[in-house]
Amino acid sequence: MSWQNFILSAVIRRQQNATMKLTPEHRFKRQRKFMAMDIGKPNKTVTCTTDELAGVKVEWLAAKGINISPSTPVCVYCHGGAFIMGGMNSHRQMCSELAAQANISVLMVDYRLAPEHPFPAAPEDAMSVYLALIEMGYESRNIIIAGDSAGGNLALTTLQKLRDDNKPTPAAAILFSPWLDLSHNSQSFTDNKQKDVLLNKTLLEEAVAMYAPKLPRNDPRISPLNANMANLPPLLIIASRAEVLLDDATALHHKIQELHGDSTYLEWTNPPHAFPVMSRFLPEARDALKQSAAFITEHIA
């Protein structure tokens, strides 16, 4: 464990302990306000451009020398935040680093959040942005889709729906600590209850109640771990051994392997949930982004 991870994890644990003493309503408001803060500045070599595709707000982060056009590769990124918080500000710094390292453009999707916009708003927005790129002339072999936590859920559900609808699927996908089974019955919720400094079952249950109040928790439309994993593009899955969602990541990897699909799984020992997003602070996160950039370079056309 790096000393940066030791300190950051201690700070996060202290904040979360205080947060858990609040009422659910105050907890939600406090966390959403924090995730809306402009947490980190983007890489200086990356240009940031706001845009709108298919009625969805997006932001382009283009590496130096990369022109935003259908002839250049792009990574469509769905941010985390349990479907109820997060956005451009919370993920701009990390996405700019990924754009710089992979020498591509990253397209952040500012999808609609629950509870104001419950399911299926978020997956509809992710799908709409991807299909808009195809309509603009982007070739699927030049597109990567990625996301962390709830964003990893959206990335996987987008892949599955594209396949089921016989639409062109992207060249590959990257999932950071994906939240894939909203029933929360896996063993890692027990094993890592005391280790995970960021998430717990209570927080996730509250988020699900806002995101999909009318659906069974095991419905494959919101729990893509229960859906068909056949004929998906190559996946890179990154997780921490200390997070309660560890089994979501490992189960996905094993299911794809059982179907003889292409899945690469990388695991770090102690960093927080969705740690690649914390590249401003953690060497473990920077290492994960470096390997993610190499994966993109390997699979993009």
The residues annotated as belonging to the active site are 149, 243
How many residues are listed for the chain in this entry? 301
Please give the Cα distance from 177 to 195 (Å, whole number): 15
Please give the Cα distance from 182 to 154 (Å, whole number): 13
Residues 6+ apart with CB under 8 A from 148: 79, 80, 91, 175, 176, 177, 178, 274, 276, 277
Q: Which is nearest to 145 in space by CA: 50, 79, 92, 211?
A: 79
Distance of CA 50 to the CA centre of its chain: 20
Please give the Cα distance from 186 to 247 (Å, whole number): 6
Residues 6+ apart with CB under 8 A from 147: 77, 78, 79, 80, 153, 154, 155, 174, 175, 176, 178
Cα angle 52, 53, 58 (rounded to 5 degrees) comes to 50
CB atoms within 10 A of CB 15: 15
Assign 53 to helix, strand or coil.
strand
* Neighbour-count burial of 126, counting CB atoms closer than 10 A to its CB (0-12 exposed, 13-18 middle, 19+ buried): buried
Do 113 and 71 touch, CB atoms closer than 8 A? no
Residues 6+ apart with CB under 8 A from 37: 89, 90
